[in-house]
Structure 1
Amino acid sequence: MAARNFDMIVIGAGPGGYVAAIRGAQLGLKVAVVEREHLGGICLNWGCIPTKAMLRSAEVFHLMSHATEFGLKADGIGYDLDAVVKRSRGVARQLASGVGHLLKKNKVTVVMGAATIPARGRVSVKTETGTEELTADSIVLATGARARELPGLEPDGKRVWNYKHALVPPHEPKKLLVIGSGAIGIEFASFFNTLGAETTVVEVMDRILPVEDAEISAFAKKQFAKQGMTIREQATVTRLDRGADTVTAHVEQGGKTDKIEVDTVISAVGIVGNVEGLGLEELGVKLDRSHVVTDEYGRTGVAGLYAIGDVAGAPWLAHKASHEGVMVAEMVAGGHPHPIKPGAIPGCTYSHPQIASIGMTEAQAKDKGHEVKVGRFPFIGNGKAIALGEPEGMVKTVFDGKTGELLGAHMIGAEVTELIQGYAVGKTLETTEAELMETVFPHPTLSEMMHESVLDAWGRAIHY
């Protein structure tokens, strides 16, 4: 069969790949996207979306359990984990089918199968019916990443799980150990803890949520402990003894090793890029610890070959992948897009309480030599937070004291994953404290705390 020719071939149809394909088609390019598993990738099928659906169920259950605090009565409160999972899978299916519709609407050719790049400008796809050959001057790698597996701690799908197993749990955990306290680990810990599992989180670093501002990490730890979680920092799981229905974890902490017996372990110790089997080494693509090395425009150094999203390294966020997809598609179409500034990419964790941040932490700003001004505002000082019954939380802003530049913002509490976008817009517009102070925030809203936090950095907070 003769090779089919395109202007751009995208390998992977996750939030980086399918967005790149659609943007390329909008710009008049003839585009093909190759996907070996699911349209929408991990994010829509096994990541961002189904976890949020499950966490929403946990949030509603939490609210039902506290109905009397709102003057309401709710008797016989319970949950059906199978039904929670079924709803989550339905939400994922709905969105994945939506991606298929969008690609079709934009006349993107979809080829289902496993891709290799035998030579520059060529993609060979192993499909169910044989092999298809595609050619294009521009190829975009958007192959994503998968869960990292540590020796001896490998998931088996029975008692030791990765994120996929946790999304379709074969049983309900009663005693749970979560290894790793990044966003994925904390979200699953929060979900199962809310449903009543006795939950322990083990983190190798000196604090949980190690990429967050230290103050936010400390606040989160206090809240999780209040909810009954056991948090063990600067600790390592060295071994798992697996039984029929229990797992004994050997935990090393402070030079001593003790054992924890649980019925379920979730391993959330990071991710590795999907770089195998593509023929990248033969093409001369540079790899660094399982990730493709690129410049700020996603270029790999091999003519016509780009890499975006998780396979191109941190931060491993769907929205970063999508923006890179648009950027690369516009470059292929002859445009001159701006590169994405890492400091302008917000990160969110959908635990209870929620956590969100953008830009530098206070410590990073000081390390970079900034003379910092820091503002804080607690949820307890906000009318809307108290009315919602959510008085636990804080907003923290970090500024350059000389120029007034907003260097970073860090939040913990109800709905902060929605609020953070205000600061993201501010950073893109290169705001200083002056514009933020002059902005009128609506009352009563949680967003007023963003205003007060800025004011506080200059000693001008009104309500605290």
Structure 2
Amino acid sequence: MAEQNFDMIVIGAGPGGYVAAIRGAQLGLKVACVEREHMGGICLNWGCIPTKAMLRSAEVFHLMERAKDYGLKAEGIGYDLDAVVKRSRGIARQLNSGVGHLLKKNKITAVMGEASVPAKGKVSVKTDKGTEELTAKHVVLATGARARELPGLEADGDLVWTYRHALVPPRMPKKLLVIGSGAIGIEFASFYNALGADVTVVEVMDRILPVEDEEISAFAQKSFEKQGMTIRRKAIVKGLDRGKGTVTAHIEAEGKVETAEFDTVISAVGIVGNTEGLGLEKLGVKVEKTHVVTDPWCRTGVEGVWAIGDLAGAPWLAHKASHEGVMVAELIAGKNDVHPVHPDRIPGCTYCQPQIASVGLTERQAREKGHEVRVGRFPFIGNGKALALGEPEGMVKTVFDAQTGELLGAHMVGAEVTELIQGYAVGQTLETTEEELMHTVFPHPTLSEMMHESVLDAYDRVIHI
């Protein structure tokens, strides 16, 4: 086939890649976007979106079970797991087709196939019709990541699942083991627990959700245990013996190995970057621990080669990938007012029950960085809207620099906190201080009032506790 020339070629059409392609096209660049599997990538098809659809079903089911608490009657409550999954997959398909439409609307050349970079400025794509050769001055690597599989814990799709299997389950687990308590593990633990599975979570660290503030982790664990989950910290699954319909897990804790039987295991022990087959070593692109090494501008060190999103390392979040995609496209287009993505200003959200959200430094991190801190807290039980919603469990925590008033971090657990956290994220971007937050009028009655009260509490001015 004839060689096709572009200004920018993006490899990967996930939330980093397709956003980079669209922004590049908006700025007048001739852009190609190569995808080997699904437009929208893992996030849209097998991650962020379908999991949230399933978790919403679990949330509604949980509320139906609590109908009496709201003065309502609901009898014969149940669920259809196949229908829950069908709804989830339908939403993913809808958004998948939407990405294709956006690329077409922005006159981006979409190429479906397996890409490699044989030399600087050259991309070779194996398609169903043969091999297409593309050239561009700039190549953006946005190939994402996949589930990490540890020796002896490999998924088989029957007894041992990755997140993909858990999204299209062959059955409803009765006794479920979740290995890993990061966002992915906890979300699936929460979903299946809500539908009635007996769930055990094993975490190698000394607390669950280890990237979160310690108080939030402790609060979440108590809530999960109250819901019936078993949480085992400072423990490791040494091996799995697979039988007919059962798995015997060998779990080591405090120097002792115990066995326990489960019918299903979900392995959620992290991710690895999709670096294989791209030709990065020959190209001279540096890879460490399966992730491409970049500077704050997502440059790889090889002229004209960029890397964004999960491929470029933590935090492994879709919104981080999207912002990096925009940044890189703007740099390529020659814009001067471009800012690097600041890791401490990227919010993180976990959509379990209760929800968890955070941005910035934890209290421990702030102190370790040498800050003298002021910390504020406000409980959901002191908020009228939370009580009206029937969601009195939760808290908002804010961390400030005691000398300057800078908002260093904010951490939340409770209903709808994944929607609230953006208020603090905007505040950090605007370099807000406690004074400006105190002077901001928060509407009543809303959950957001707790954000205000937490700030007031940090400075001994809290009203409602």
What is the TM-score of this pair, normalised by structure 1? 1.00
1:36 is aligned with what amino acid?
A: R
Shift, 1:171, TM fit: 1.0
Residue 4 (structure 1) aligns with: 4
**2:37 aligned with 1:24:** no
Paired AA for residue 413 in structure 1: G
Show the counterpart of 2:416: 415
Q: Partner of 1:49: helix, strand, or coil? A: helix
Deviation digits for residues 46-82 of structure 1, max 9, x if unmatched? 0000000000000000000000000000000000000
Measure how far apart 1:2 and its partner are.
2.0
Aligned-pair CA distance for 1:244: 1.6
Amino acid at match of 1:372: V
Q: Distance in 2 between matches of 1:172 and 1:260?
A: 19
Secondary structure (helix, strand or coil) at the match of 2:400 reads strand
- Show the counterpart of 2:135: 135
Q: Within 5 A, what are the aligned runs for 1:169-208? A: 169-208=169-208
Which secondary structure state, in structure 1, belongs to the residue aligned with residue 187 of structure 2?
A: helix
Shift >2 Å, 4+ stretches:
none
1-structure distance, mates of 2:331, 2:131? 30
Structure 1 portions without partners, runs of 5+: none
Cα distance in 2, alignment partners of residues 286 and 300 from structure 1: 7
How far apart, CA to CA, are the structure 1 residues paired with 2:86 and 2:36? 24
Aligned alpha-carbon RMSD (Å):
0.4
Report 1:289-300 matches (<5 A): 289-300=289-300
Q: What residue is the counterpart of 2:425 in the other structure?
A: 424
1:388 CA drift (Å): 0.2
Matched, 1:251 2:251: yes
Task: Report the counterpart of residue 339 of structure 1 in structure 2.
Answer: 340
Equivalent residue, structure 2, for 1:152: 152
Q: Secondary structure, in 3 states, of the residue corresponding to 2:177?
A: strand
What residue number does 2:394 align with? 393
User: What is the CA–CA distance in structure 2 between the aligned matches of 1:211 and 1:449, rounded to whole Å?
Assistant: 23
Which letter does structure 1 place at the counterpart of 2:69? E
Name the CA distance, whole Å, in 2 between partners of 1:260 and 1:161. Answer: 17
Q: Distance in 1 between matches of 2:17 and 2:247?
A: 39
Q: What secondary structure, in the 3-state scheme, does the structure 1 residue paired with 2:59 have? A: helix
AA of the residue aligned to 1:302:
V
- Residue correspondence of structure 1 range 20-59 to structure 2 within 5 A: 20-59=20-59
Q: What is the TM-score when the length of structure 2 is the normalising length? A: 1.00
Q: How far did 1:129 drift? A: 1.0
Secondary structure of the equivalent of 1:116? Answer: strand
Counterpart residue identity of residue 52, structure 1: K
Aligned equivalents of 2:260, 2:65: Cα separation in 1:
29
Structure 2 stretches of 5 or more lacking a match? none
The C-alpha deviation readout for 1:338-372, integer Å capped at 9, x for no partner, is: 00111110000000000000000000000000000
Corresponding residue SS for 2:93:
helix
Amino acid at match of 1:448: E
- Equivalent AA in structure 2 for residue 330 of structure 1: E
Q: Which amino acid aligns with 1:447?
A: S
Q: What SS is found at the alignment partner of 2:353?
A: coil
What does residue range 50-69 of structure 1 map to in structure 2 within 5 Å?
A: 50-69=50-69
Instruction: Give the aligned partner of residue 224 of structure 1.
Output: 224
Who is 2:234 aligned against?
234
User: What is the alpha-carbon distance in structure 2 between the residues aligned to residue 371 and residue 70 of structure 1?
Assistant: 44
Matched residue SS, 1:449? helix
| Matched AA of 1:65 | E
Q: How far, CA to CA, are the matches of 1:260 and 1:423 in structure 2?
A: 43
1:282-431 to 2 correspondence within 5 Å? 282-336=282-336, 337-431=338-432
> What whole-Å deviation, never above 9, does each CA across 1:74-100 have from its counterpart, x for those lacking one?
000000000000000000000111000
Q: What is the CA–CA distance in structure 1 between the aligned matches of 2:345 and 2:152, rounded to whole Å?
A: 38
